[in-house]
Amino acid sequence: MLNKKIKSILNFLILMLATFMLAISFSLAEDSVNKDISIENRYNLNEQIYLNYSVRSLGLNIANFELDINLSDSKYWANAKIKAKGIGGIFSKTEFTYGSRGNLEKKTISPKFYSNHLSTKKGRGYVSIAYRAELLTIYALPENNKEKEDLLAIHLDTKTKDPLSTIIEISLYTIDNPCVGQWKITDGRQVFSLVFRKLDLNKKAEDLIGCEVKYTPIAGQSDKELEDEKDNPSPYHKIWLSKIKINNQMDILIPVMIHAKTDLGITKIELDDITINDINIVL
């Protein structure tokens, strides 16, 4: 039973860790305005950002999440890994790796390619998304069935970005009113949305930004998950962010703590290390 619950939490974190960071600063609220990044600033960026998170449930370490972001010459590259660890590694050998690359534009990013690899005791899986002018090309192993492909096609367009690309977008193109709005994301097999609202920070440090985030499945999930969402909608989860400066002039938002509600209670995701250009940063 513990085995199944640990796997359930890890699968949940694959979605949440890769997407809790997404729409914090670049929401779809009508009163939101994107920050422009000049061509000079985009080409002057030469940053390597490394983030390392620990994942704990019931007081035990169950997984580790690493994220590498590289910004250079108006382009970006990102790689991420989620791996079962501690008691999670005992009951599950699950490992997810992600990669993404694209261009930095004035008001947004332009993703070019995304991929993710899954490794478990039962086998391996792979998904890639190639972004072209008005088309997303998805390649998956095992292949998505025809019914799933048709459902995904209804909800997909070139504005539906992959998780890692959106992380870059959010970190750089900030707005004045975070924690407001809705975002739609795809990982090539599923489409889901995140809805945001502000969090009262009376009990938290004033230098943190607090949000609540709700994940909602849209297409590609199992029939059971979609039915469960209708009968018992997913809860809101809490996330706290800290603002740091890069390139001596640009602010970015870094998630420092996430409290996610799961079947085993609150699963905590906390930032352990942050390095920018090989320099350790203390928040």
User: How many Å separate Cα 132 from the centre of its chain?
Assistant: 22
- Long-range Cβ contacts of 71-74 (<8 Å, 24+ apart): 71/45, 71/46, 71/47, 71/104, 71/168, 71/172, 72/45, 72/46, 72/47, 73/43, 73/45, 73/46, 74/39, 74/42, 74/43, 74/45, 74/103, 74/104
Cβ atoms of 117 and 125 within 8 Å: the answer is yes
pLDDT at 92: 62
Please give the Cα distance from 204 to 259 (Å, whole number). Answer: 13
3-state DSSP call for residue 219?
strand
Q: 22-39 burial by CB neighbour count: b if 16+ within 10 A, else e?
A: bbbbbbebeebeeeebee
pLDDT tens digit at each of 283 positions of the chain: 334 444 444 544 555 554 444 333 333 233 333 455 555 566 667 888 899 999 888 888 888 889 898 888 888 898 989 888 776 555 567 788 999 999 888 777 888 999 999 887 788 999 999 998 778 889 999 988 888 888 888 988 878 888 888 777 766 665 455 677 777 888 898 888 877 788 766 554 557 788 888 888 899 888 888 999 899 898 888 888 887 777 666 677 788 888 888 777 788 889 999 998 898 888 7
pLDDT at 198: 81
3-state DSSP call for residue 207?
coil
User: Across the chain, which distance is largest between two alpha carbons, in Å?
Assistant: 55
pLDDT at 26: 32
Please give the Cα distance from 176 to 25 (Å, whole number). Answer: 8
pLDDT at 43: 62
Location of structure tokens 């590498």: 68
Please give the Cα distance from 192 to 182 (Å, whole number). Answer: 11
Cβ atoms within 10 A of the Cβ of 143, count?
Answer: 10
pLDDT at 275: 93
pLDDT at 105: 82
